[in-house]
Chain A
Amino acid sequence: MKWNQKHSHRIVETISLLFIVLFIYAATSKLWDFGQFKVQLGQSPILTAYADWLAWLVPLTEYVLAILLLWKPQRLSALYAAFGLMVMFTTYIILVLNFSDYIPCSCGGVLEDLGWTEHIVFNLIFIALAFIGIILLEEHPTLNTIVS
């Protein structure tokens, strides 16, 4: 049990770290070229009408989640939120791929250069990571309190 817990802790730490890096990177590269991002969202065939405030909301959410993931007492809820956000991104991609005649991308940075299939795979991997993190934390609530 002890071994298991130690490793579980490492795994959760790593998963959180991966998410933090992903979110900070994605949010920063969006804000870096905010005008461009806004336009891309506006051109996005399924969210056009909400582009104005979504352009702010998405990077903001990513930053907030990154902070929450750092803060251990909130890590479990942050993982749920990250899981939810990745599900939303993936749903968005699937909707775009299936229900629109042209496809824009506004993921930011190098993620923009991913193909759509790679993109879905990439997202699914992160969904799986969040899933694992959540299961481990739910199984061992004490992980949160361990200080390494």
Chain B
Amino acid sequence: MKKAKTAMKLLGTTSLGMGLVIVLFLSSERQVHRNNVFTRRYPHHPIKKLYDLPIGFDSYYIAGVDNDILFLGNTTAPLHLLRINIKTGDTSHINLNLPTRNLPFKAVTVQVYPPYFYVMDGTIPCIFKGILGDWNAKLWMKDKAYFTKAFPLDTSKIYINTINSDTRLATLGILEKRWDFRVSLHPEILEKQIDGMFDVDGTMVVSQDGKTLGFVYYYRNQFMVMDSMLGLLGRQETIDTVKIAHIELSRANKKGQVKMKAPPLKINHTAALYNDLMLINSPRLDKYEDPRMLDEAAIIDVYNWKERTYDFSFYLYRIEQKKLKEFRVYDKYLLALLGDMFSVYSLDEGQFNGTGQSATRNEKNNEIPAGSRMKTENL
């Protein structure tokens, strides 16, 4: 009798324990796979394609815009720039001259802040500076600060991503020239979750006037907007639900290198900042989206960082299977690099004014609307 009771109790405990874990497992499964408790809003035709332009190579990146002229840098030919007149689509090639070529360059990038251009390599570290149109750069900074990425904010300030030598963590900062160079680091902006290097990786964005800066994490649903002195204006979550970066890192090898063990879960790809709006290219599907959509287009989610809202989303369709690499919003245009193609879209200003109220407006387009295959959900 007693034995039977004990056996019953043990059996009960066993099945309760197993049952509890299985229930947790099943419900967690459901939440994660349908993870995307979010749904996007796709208004009609927020952008309209003006033209596509083949640029010959897929190694171009956006270096900056000045007066309707877009400059593209090239990773394989670091001192070569491609000039594109946004309105006419005319192109011309530019070769930059540096006073020296004897430095051990490894990662040269060119960025434009009118009327200047900057040739930068954070591994040396050095920055050359020149005037647009002249194309002869002079050495401006050498050995003052290493950086992994850098974007000029005005004639004397550079927005950098670097390694804090005290903490060995990735940190955002400003490199500024007054009398001499001064680096101010802001370790409070990037928040460590795993190693403080890989997990805080992301896209740095700068508004056209250089007054507003942004950072969009690759591996979590968050972005930050800062003023030009890196004062935090706001942290905002995207519509995605992944708060903690899903990356797997190896232990450091003998050289101290740490590597990704598995492909990470990327939440945000590339981004652009335009007035009060943060535009983020997300490779993640919402609750209802057809998975095939990711092979056909890049999804851009539009947030208003001042109002702290999600406004709407739109598709940037691939051209012959070429993926979106980078995009920028300038004036009334959206400029996109897709593989070796360059595309220009015009914005529906009503929808991009930051209020997001006129998304239901349905204009008649006589050109091929970029959103002709969009969902017909309204705001």
Contacts and interface: CB of A to CB of B under 8 A. Distances in A.
A83 B13 CA distance: 8
Contacts of B21: 88, 91-92, 95
B13 A47 contact: no
Given A43-B248, A102-B262, A49 B28 contact: yes
Given A49-B28, A95-B25, A84 B244 contact: no
A21 interface: no
Contact of A85 (B10, B17, B193): B17
For chain A, what secondary structure do more than half of its interface residues adopt (helix, strand, loop), or is it mixed? Answer: helix
A35 B246 CA distance: 14
A91 B13 contact: no
A104 B368 CA distance: 49
Interface in B244-277: 244, 246, 248, 262
A134 B5 CA distance: 12
Given A43-B246, A138-B6, A87 B13 contact: yes
A83 B28 contact: no
Contacts of A80: 9-10, 13
B18 A42 contact: no
Contact of A138 (B2, B13, B27, B248): B2
Nearest to A86: B17
Most buried by A among B16, B24, B32: B24
Interface residues of B, number: 26
Interface string A99-138: 1001000000000000000000000000000010011001
B246 A134 contact: no
B180 to A, nearest CB: 39
Contact of B22 (A45, A95, A138): A95
B13 A49 contact: no
Contacts of A138: 2, 5-6
A56 B165 CA distance: 33
Residue from B13, B29, B244, B248 whose CB has the most chain A CB atoms within 10 Å? B13
B103 interface: no
Contacts of A36: 194
B6 A135 contact: yes
Interface in B1-38: 2, 5-6, 9-10, 13-14, 16-18, 20-22, 24-25, 27-29, 31-32
Given A47-B24, A134-B6, A88 B248 contact: no
Contact of A87 (B2, B17, B244, B262): B17
A42 to B, nearest CB: 5
A87 B29 contact: no
Given A39-B193, A42-B244, A91 B17 contact: yes
A88 B17 contact: yes
Given A39-B194, A46-B29, A48-B28, A91 B18 contact: yes
B244 A51 contact: yes
A39 B244 contact: yes
A51 B193 CA distance: 14
Contacts of B32: 45, 48-49
B240 to A, nearest CB: 14
B219 to A, nearest CB: 12
A3 B28 CA distance: 51
Interface string B221-254: 0000000000000000000000010101000000
- 8 closest A-B pairs by beta carbon, nearest first, are A87-B17, A49-B31, A84-B17, A91-B21, A49-B28, A88-B17, A138-B6, A46-B25
Given A84-B17, A99-B25, A102-B248, 7 more contacts: A39-B194, A46-B24, A47-B25, A49-B32, A83-B17, A86-B17, A95-B25
13 contacts: A43-B246, A46-B24, A47-B28, A48-B28, A80-B10, A83-B10, A83-B17, A87-B13, A87-B18, A88-B17, A92-B21, A95-B22, A134-B10
